[in-house]
């Protein structure tokens, strides 16, 4: 029985990618640069591991940001200040961001093996991390997508009580992390670039 369950889980990871209908692939990828009055956050999922899963990324104010398709990246603009992001998956994978306008920040959407499905982690990509030297290649090797914001927001609005519970769980999860784990999941104002990669 255990072996059959394990084979079923492994088969799910081997399925072809099921891209989100709430994302549109950009035909001719564009460079992602800063905006004068807002910060830009680039979420990059460099791997196709767990390809059958496409986690939704949202903010703690219940705003749909995008779906992390396998081997893809997308960018969103947010006001300067403090933000809290999370994923809709087996876990919540929270990330805290303190950002300033006119800068571009990078976040890895990292898929790790979980109990039933892959677990998703939002990890800050900064000059302090080893991923920093890989992010330029990740952007070149992944497809660029753009969120269908209205459709994604309608999905979240239709599950308002579930979203509220998920946000609560994400904040509790972050508060329960040790300082090193929190640091890996925090973007600081100076982590952003005045020019995109």
Residue 196 domain-assigned (yes or no): no
Q: Each residue of 89-124: pLDDT tens digit?
A: 788 999 999 999 999 999 999 987 666 666 899 999
d(CA 81, CA 100): 6
d(CA 100, CA 162): 30
d(CA 112, CA 82): 27
**More confident call, 52 vs 108:** 108
Name the nearest CA neighbour of 85 among 188, 8, 186.
186
Residue 122 domain-assigned (yes or no): yes
Q: How many domains does the chain have?
A: 1
Residue 76 domain-assigned (yes or no): yes
Q: Each residue of 169-190: pLDDT tens digit?
A: 999 999 999 999 999 999 999 9
d(CA 12, CA 31): 33
d(CA 105, CA 188): 9
**More confident call, 8 vs 104:** 104
Residue 184 domain-assigned (yes or no): yes
**Using 50, 70 and 90 to split pLDDT, how confident is the model at 47?**
confident
Q: What's the whole-number mean pLDDT along residues 8-29? A: 58
Q: Each residue of 127-149: pLDDT tens digit?
A: 999 999 999 999 999 999 999 99
How much is the mean pLDDT over the chain? 86
Q: Above 90 in pLDDT, residue 41?
A: yes
Q: Each residue of 63-76: pLDDT tens digit?
A: 999 999 999 999 99
Residue 197 domain-assigned (yes or no): no
Q: Above 90 in pLDDT, residue 155?
A: yes
d(CA 106, CA 142): 14
- pTM (two decimals): 0.86
Residue span of the structural domain in which 84 resides:
2-191
């Amino acid at each position: 029985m255990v072996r059959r369950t394990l084979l079923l889980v492994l088969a799910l990871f081997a399925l072809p990618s099921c891209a989100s209908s709430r994302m549109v692939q950009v035909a001719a990828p564009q460079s992602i640069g800063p905006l004068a009055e807002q910060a830009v956050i680039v979420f990059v999922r460099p791997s196709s591991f767990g390809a059958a899963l496409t986690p939704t990324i949202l903010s703690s104010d219940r705003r749909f940001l995008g779906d992390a398709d396998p081997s893809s990246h997308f960018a969103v603009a947010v006001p300067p200040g403090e933000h809290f992001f999370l994923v809709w998956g087996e876990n919540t994978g929270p990330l805290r961001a303190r950002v300033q306008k006119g800068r571009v920040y990078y976040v890895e959407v990292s898929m790790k093996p979980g109990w039933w499905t892959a677990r998703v982690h939002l990890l800050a990509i900064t000059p302090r991390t080893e991923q920093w030297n890989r992010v330029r290649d990740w952007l070149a090797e992944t497809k660029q997508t753009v969120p269908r914001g209205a459709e994604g927001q309608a999905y979240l609005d239709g599950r308002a009580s579930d979203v509220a519970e998920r946000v609560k769980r994400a904040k509790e999860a972050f508060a329960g992390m040790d300082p090193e784990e929190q640091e890996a999941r925090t973007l600081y104002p100076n982590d952003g670039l005045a020019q995109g990669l």
